[in-house]
Amino acid sequence: MSTKFPEIQGGGSLILAWQIKNKEVLVVGGGEVAAGRIVNLLNADAKVTVVCPREGLNEEVAYRVDHGQVRHIDRIFLPLDLEPERKVAMVLTAVDDPEASTRIWKYCKEMKIPANIADVPSECDFYFGSVHRDGPLQIMVSTNGNGPRLAAAIRRQIGRMLPKGTGDSIEKVGQLRRRLRRAAPGKSTRDISKRMGWMSAVCDRWSTEDFNAMDDEDMETLVDYYESGKVPSFEEVRLGNRGDVVWEFDGSFGWM
């Protein structure tokens, strides 16, 4: 078989960044697993409703209810919770009742609502992975339901390997992209390809430390290079942008 194209490895999941902002998500249950799910949902700016008798809420979920971070329905799940007018975009269950969980999953199938039934991979339309978070950076490790504990260990290892300040540098890249679009707002395919190509070249040449050190003046100077197509080094930008500063070479830029 030809090795020209990527080899297909079946059995995986389609890893996506699901934009759930301002969408209604129903969480059934109020224990430790539900608490973890709720944190993930709130970090994604979802509108969360928890269905669970008050006595079933653990300390963390009760805190989020009491502080208005989530809406609470003080009873067990009922099919009416999935009525179309409620506009539920996703359902997560985390209850110690396999039969009840399966019934909820079947209701979701009828309503065509994506669902995750905790600890029952066969009744999940999607899985939660172990996520490393650093500002805008999110890295998810998924074992497709086979080993959540191992996924967490791998996630921690990846986090330790990343350069310090990676999240901050990504913030700077986002600012640079927005500034570039303002400076070169063309919307044709050619314009978009040129912007993407130039940004890719900048990201390839500049390090995490370079982006972290970049300030607004540096950013403006860097964008000025765009029309020429040149991608300067951080040192070229900084030296050219600080004409009022006397630079004393100490070898720190790595020049020979």
For the stretch 69-121, pLDDT in tens is: 999 999 999 999 999 999 999 999 999 999 999 999 999 999 999 999 998 88
Q: Is residue 74 part of a domain?
A: yes
Q: Examine residue 210 and state whether it is found in any structural domain, yes or no.
A: yes
Asked whether residue 248 is domain-assigned, the answer is: no
Residues 76 and 93 reside in one and the same domain? yes
Which of 128, 139, 91, 146 minimizes the C-alpha distance to 113?
91
> 216-234, pLDDT tens digit by residue?
999 999 999 999 999 999 9
User: Do 28 and 119 belong together in one domain?
Assistant: yes
Please tell me the distance from the alpha carbon of residue 65 to that of residue 87, in angstroms, as a whole number: 21
Q: d(Cα 215, Cα 161) in Å, to the nearest integer?
A: 26
Q: Looking at the 3D structure of the chain, how many domains does it have?
A: 3
- The predicted model gives 39-63 an average pLDDT of 97
pLDDT value at 255 more than 70: no
* 48 sits in which H/E element: strand 47-51
Are 55 and 78 a contacting pair, CB within 8 Å?
no
Please tell me which residue in 97, 119, 134, 168 is annotated as part of the active site: 119
- 88-93 vs 130-134, strand pairing mode: unpaired
Residues 75 and 142 in one domain: no
Residues 79 and 113 in one domain: yes
| Catalytic residue flag (residue 119) | yes
Is-above-0.75 flag for pTM? Answer: no
CATH number at residue 228: 1.10.3280
Which CATH number do you get for residue 73? 3.40.50.720
| Domain identity same for 53 and 74 | yes
| Domain assignment present for 15 | no
Identify whether residues 115 and 180 lie together within a single domain: no
Q: Is residue 61 scored above 50 in pLDDT?
A: yes
Q: What is the distance between the alpha carbons of residues 238 and 236, in angstroms, rounded to a whole number?
A: 6
Residue 33, domain extent = 24-128
Number of H helices, E strands in the chain: 9, 7
Q: What percent of the chain has pLDDT over 70?
A: 93
